[in-house]
Chains A and B, each alone.
Chain A
Amino acid sequence: DAGVTQSPTHLIKTRGQHVTLRCSPISGHKSVSWYQQVLGQGPQFIFQYYEKEERGRGNFPDRFSARQFPNYSSELNVNALLLGDSALYLCASSLRPPHEQYFGPGTRLTVT
């Protein structure tokens, strides 16, 4: 069974641009959560989706948005990129909340 997959692996963007990150959960998992991990810190919760509905939102500006599709995959969108958005973006899936979350390999976003 494949684990959580994310694409792309790495991404370089310029300030002001927007970005879309993608996540495919483990087969059978219906919940997806997004986290931002800055170097040397723990992951910070951004969003959780379950059955295509937003279940939780962290303290991130409205420039961050997400959605979940009928096949339970998910996209994270970030508009008007700032230098401070440079981080590892992690996706985690679980069967349903509240269950154990399993992380994908992450997308390393660099904003220049």
Chain B
Amino acid sequence: GENVEQHPSTLSVQEGDSAVIKCTYSDSASNYFPWYKQELGKRPQLIIDIRSNVGEKKDQRIAVTLNKTAKHFSLHITETQPEDSAVYFCAARVNRDDKIIFGKGTRLHILP
């Protein structure tokens, strides 16, 4: 069945440095890839997304890249700040049934 693998499970970076989270998906019919940020005790918040007809998308300090051939997509956060500390989830959607499959999450720690 459909599967989304996410790495690493935990990531610690120095404040101001960049963070990269990588995901792979199994279903080649996947065509929409959202990223969510979840702070402790709060709801997942959509931070950026990319569709399969686009290779890269950027929004201020956040960027997402997609390699359809390799079925890889990645989240890049530059100039990290303390408020970036959270759990980040990648996800993939297959259009035929609108099901969104989430990765297991990456706990990002921004070190002072």
Contacts and interface: CB of A to CB of B under 8 A. Distances in A.
Interface size band for A:
20 to 34
A56 interface: yes
A56 B97 contact: yes
Contacts of A50: 98
Contacts of A41: 104-105
Interface string B38-82: 000011111001000000000000000000000000000000000
A42 B34 CA distance: 13
Nearest to A99: B32
A43 B99 contact: no
A104 to B, nearest CB: 6
B43 A55 contact: no
B109 interface: no
A49 to B, nearest CB: 10
Given A42-B89, A55-B97, A100-B46, 14 more contacts: A33-B100, A42-B91, A42-B103, A42-B105, A43-B102, A50-B98, A57-B97, A90-B43, A98-B95, A100-B49, A101-B46, A103-B36, A104-B43, A105-B42
